[in-house]
């Protein structure tokens, strides 16, 4: 628009496999009548490429297919094809590039006026783009007034695009109050996750994390971190946790595909150290990734 200056970050190097070929840049994949463009009938997943490795790529590719099935779309691309295309696409980048790997399904057409989507029109693409890994400098968090929906309210058993506006408004609200991120609770007031990652806390050397209860995805990186810590002799307890538990924690860290293992250095006004368990979890994950 004339007179409007965008402050958006310029898009990084991007390659997308769509309709049988690799295409460069932010290509158009939807039209004004594409059901997913206005009815949010899409699912995706995110894997990472960094330092020449792609940890748990197979699990991420399997999860996007499971998300599609749970959502009601048709997972028309095999896990093996997703993996093969990812390997092929990464050859277009520097071997050490830090990339985000995003397989995606969406509905092209609607039924009965457009609210319902036609699963037989499921389309897909694989997009890979440069996205630097965030430095583990730590984040400040608080409690969000917004909550995670239940399966009765939203498709929380899929990594669906329609779930993320709720997380975005939670982040906007937290940032207006001077925080980097925020904890969301379930409808009963128990801590579920951060707005964009799973959450862990440490108390007296024991790691605690919210037990999966159907309102948040039991993340692939979350499960990997739990297994690595337990194999290393660290006690990890999955249980119902209140915000007050996090307010008195010795350490807090997150797990997620984007940053893998990231420390929290403040909750409300209380400063937190980047403690030994957090550092151990991060080191264990990096060792696993390179194994």
- Give DSSP secondary structure letters for 89-109: HHTTS-TT--EEEEEEEEE--
- Which of 146, 170, 149 shows the shortest CA–CA distance to 158? 149
Q: Please report which confidence band the pLDDT of residue 6 belongs to, taking 50, 70 and 90 as the band edges.
A: very low
pLDDT of residue 10: 80
pTM of the model: 0.94
Question: What kind and span of H or E run contains 167?
Answer: helix 164-176
Mean pLDDT value across residues 202-215:
97
Bridge partners, 141 (sequence order): 181, 267
What is the per-residue pLDDT across 20-69, written as a single tens digit (0 to 9) for each?
999 999 999 999 999 999 999 999 999 999 999 999 999 999 999 999 99
- Which of 231, 281, 210 shows the shortest CA–CA distance to 251? 281
pLDDT of residue 4: 44
Alpha-helical segments (H) within 34-105 = 35-39, 57-71, 79-90
Which residue would you say has higher pLDDT here, 115 or 10? 115
Q: How far apart are the first and last CA of the chain?
A: 50
Q: How many residues does the chain have?
A: 291
Stretch among 106-115, 162-171, 184-193, 262-271 having the lowest mean pLDDT: 106-115
Mean pLDDT value across residues 82-97:
97
Who's near 119: CB < 8 A, 6+ residues apart?
Answer: 72, 73, 74, 107
- CATH number of 14-130: 3.20.20.70, 3.30.470.10, 3.20.20.80, 3.40.50.9100? 3.30.470.10
pLDDT of residue 112: 84
pLDDT of residue 134: 93
Asked if residue 2 has pLDDT above 70, the reply is no
Per-residue burial over 195-213, b = 16 or more CB atoms within 10 Å of its CB, e = otherwise: bbbbbbbbeeeebbbbebe
Q: Tell me the CA distances in angstroms from 127 to 11, 53, 103, 185, 193, one per residue in order.
A: 13, 17, 6, 32, 26
3-state class of 161 per DSSP?
helix
> What residue spans define the domains of the chain?
14-130, 139-289
Instruction: Share the mean pLDDT of the chain.
Output: 96
Question: Would the CATH topology of 14-130 be identical to that of 139-289?
Answer: no
What is the per-residue pLDDT across 242-286, written as a single tens digit (0 to 9) for each?
999 999 999 999 999 999 999 999 999 999 999 999 999 999 999
pLDDT of residue 114: 75
Domain 139-289 sits in CATH at 3.20.10.10
- Which of 161, 139, 127 shows the shortest CA–CA distance to 49? 127
- The whole-angstrom separation of Cα 49 and Cα 65 is 20
What is the per-residue pLDDT across 101-158, written as a single tens digit (0 to 9) for each?
999 999 999 998 778 999 999 999 999 999 999 999 999 999 999 999 999 999 999 9
pLDDT of residue 5: 46
């Amino acid at each position: 628009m004339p007179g409007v200056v965008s402050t958006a970050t310029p898009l990084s190097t991007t390659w997308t496999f769509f309709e049988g070929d690799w295409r460069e840049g932010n290509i158009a994949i939807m039209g004004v009548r594409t059901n997913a463009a206005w009815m949010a009938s899409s699912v995706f997943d995110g894997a990472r490429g960094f330092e020449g490795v792609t940890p748990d790529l197979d699990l991420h590719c399997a999860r996007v297919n499971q998300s599609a099935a749970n959502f009601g779309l048709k997972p028309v691309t095999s896990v093996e094809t997703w993996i093969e295309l990812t390997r092929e696409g990464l050859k277009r980048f520097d071997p050490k590039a830090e990339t985000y790997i995003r397989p995606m399904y969406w509905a092209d057409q609607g039924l009965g006026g457009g609210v319902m989507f036609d699963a037989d029109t499921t389309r897909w693409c694989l997009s890979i783009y440069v996205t630097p890994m965030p430095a583990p400098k730590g984040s400040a968090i608080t409690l969000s007034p917004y909550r995670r929906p239940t399966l009765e309210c939203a498709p929380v058993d899929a990594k669906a695009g329609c779930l993320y506006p709720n997380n975005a408004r939670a982040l906007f609200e937290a940032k207006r109050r001077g925080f980097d991120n925020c904890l969301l609770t379930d409808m009963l007031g128990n801590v579920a996750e951060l707005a964009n990652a799973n959450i862990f806390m440490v108390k007296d050397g024991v790691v605690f994390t919210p037990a999966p209860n159907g309102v948040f995805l039991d993340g692939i990186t979350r499960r990997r971190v739990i297994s690595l810590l337990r194999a290393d002799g660290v006690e990890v307890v999955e249980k119902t946790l209140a915000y007050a538990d996090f307010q008195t924690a010795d350490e807090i860290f997150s797990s997620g595909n984007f940053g893998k293992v990231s420390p929290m250095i403040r909750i409300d006004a209380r400063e937190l150290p980047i403690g030994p368990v957090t550092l151990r979890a991060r080191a264990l994950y990096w060792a696993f990734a390179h194994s």
